[in-house]
Amino acid sequence: MKIRKSIWIIPIILIPIAGVYYQLNKNKKELNSVIAFTARQIDAIPVKIETATRSTIDSKIKASGILEANNQLIVVSETQGKIIHLNKDLGDWVQKGEVITKVEDEIVTASVMVAEANVEQQAKDIERFKRLSEGDAITKHDLEKAEIGFKKAKADLITAQKSLSNTSITAPISGVINQKFVTEGQFLSGGMPVFEIVDNNQLKLHVKIDGDDIYKIEKNQNVNVSVPVFSNHIFPGKVTAIAAKADQAMNFSVEITLNNTGGLALKSGLFAEVEFPVQLKDRLIIRKECISGSMEKPQVFVVENSKAVLKNIVTGISNDKYIEVISGLDEGSRVIYSGQLNLGGNEQVKIIE
């Protein structure tokens, strides 16, 4: 009895399995039929193209640096003595040639008076010696000694007058007193710093440009300078110097000059960024949308014989819309800029407007 029951159970199990197999096989045939039908309907992948052409491409080279005063120096003493008056303080504007510090000058003034008297005496001695020489009362050698003495007296007078002028320390440049190193009543000696003067009326910006870009920049070229402290404001500048030699990092120093005029007063020491407008003519360019993959290893799809052919290219400068192609494409190449996501290479394509 047990054997008969087992025989009847086997057909009951196999019938559902056979039904499932039949249905799966039917679904597979239907799927293959749909795929085949779709393949027949889509003969080629639709794409949009543009022609690689030679034209002018505008771009920008960016660099950054620290603003520096066009003129800044530390005024040092050329005399010694007690400071009797400081005419300027921190933050004051000084004009070139203006007296900023006065040192006691009584002793130096006395030296000038002595030197003047000596010159006067030596001049009278020469006149007397000349008259005596005409009457052979003195030798020619005595007259020559008198003339030498007169020259020495004049030299001593010049030295004394210079020492006197040094007691009035003047500003060698116009600018603002940025640092003060002395106080009134202090004894000053030769070579001691007195003031630091900074002239921010004109500023310099020195930036580094690599060798690939240095020939795209020209002296006297107008540039735009931005300072983060003054957001949304552009300061006009001009390239005033380009280094003739690269540094060890193969970068060239470029100097930009800015006239610090107008409502916004820039200060030296501020961080600044500069944009050099660059215009390259007769360059093979394509849209940036044509690039497939990364910019490090750029590739493009080109339509050849109604097929999409993947090509490696070498690119140059770019702007927001276009990019220069240095090699890998010919002028007139039909480059795909829309529809690349559906391509892998060597597919049939259909060009659409």
In terms of domains, do 259 and 306 share one? no
Strands (E), the chain: 45-51, 53-76, 81-86, 93-94, 99-103, 168-170, 175-180, 187-188, 193-210, 222-226, 234-242, 251-259, 271-287, 299-304, 307-312, 314-318, 322-327, 334-338, 349-351
Token representation of residue 127: 């006149």
pLDDT (0 to 100) of residue 103: 95
Mean pLDDT of the chain: 86
Contact 338, 289 (CB under 8 A): yes
256 phi/psi in degrees, rounded to 5: -115, 135
Last residue of a domain, one of 166, 181, 214: 166
Is 224 buried (19+), middle (13-18) or exposed (0-12) by CB count in 10 A? middle
Looking at the structure, do residues 300 and 239 belong to the same domain, yes or no? no
Domain match, 219 and 287 both = no
Beta bridge partners of 272: 65
- Is residue 93 one of the residues assigned to a domain? no
Q: Give yes or no for residue 311 having a pLDDT over 90.
A: yes
Res 186 pLDDT > 90: yes
Using a pLDDT cut of 70, give the percent of the chain over it: 86
Residues 8 and 49 in one domain: no
Q: What is the pLDDT of residue 318?
A: 87
> Is 183 inside any structural domain?
no
Distances (CA, A) of 244 to 67, 167, 211, 212: 22, 43, 11, 15
Helices (H), the chain: 2-41, 106-134, 140-166
pLDDT in tens, 70-120: 899 999 999 999 999 999 999 999 999 999 999 999 999 999 999 999 999
The H or E element that residue 352 is part of is none
| 267 is a domain residue | yes
Pair 245, 303 in one domain: no
Gap between the Cα atoms of 47 and 196, Å rounded: 68
Length of the chain equals 353
Q: Which amino acid appears at position 50 of this protein?
A: E
DSSP, collapsed to helix, strand or coil, labels residue 139 as coil
266 and 287 belong to one structural domain:
no
| One domain, residues 12 and 49 | no
Residue 119 belongs to domain with CATH number: 1.10.287.470
Domain for residue 96, yes or no? no
Is residue 329 included in any domain, yes or no?
yes
Give the mean pLDDT of 39-50.
75
Within this chain, do residues 286 and 346 fall inside the same structural domain, yes or no? yes
Q: Could you report how far apart the first and last alpha carbons of the chain are, in Å?
A: 80
Query: How many whole angstroms separate alpha carbon 91 and alpha carbon 153?
Result: 44
Q: Determine, yes or no, domain membership for 313.
A: yes
pTM value? 0.62
271 lies in the same domain as 310: no
342 within domain boundaries = yes
CATH value at residue 206? 2.40.30.170
Give pLDDT tens digits for 195-204: 999 999 999 9
Q: Which residues of 176-185 are buried (b: 16+ CB within 10 A; e: fewer)?
A: bbbebebeee
Is 307's pLDDT higher than 90? yes
In this structure, the answer to whether residues 251 and 290 fall within a common structural domain is: no
Q: Which domain holds residue 149?
A: 105-166
Instruction: Verify that 245 and 302 share a domain, yes or no.
Output: no
Assigned domain for 208 exists: yes
Provide the β-strand partners of residue 275. Answer: 62, 224
- Domain count for the chain: 4
- For residues 243-254, give the mean pLDDT: 94
Looking up residue 300, the CATH number of its domain turns out to be 2.40.420.20
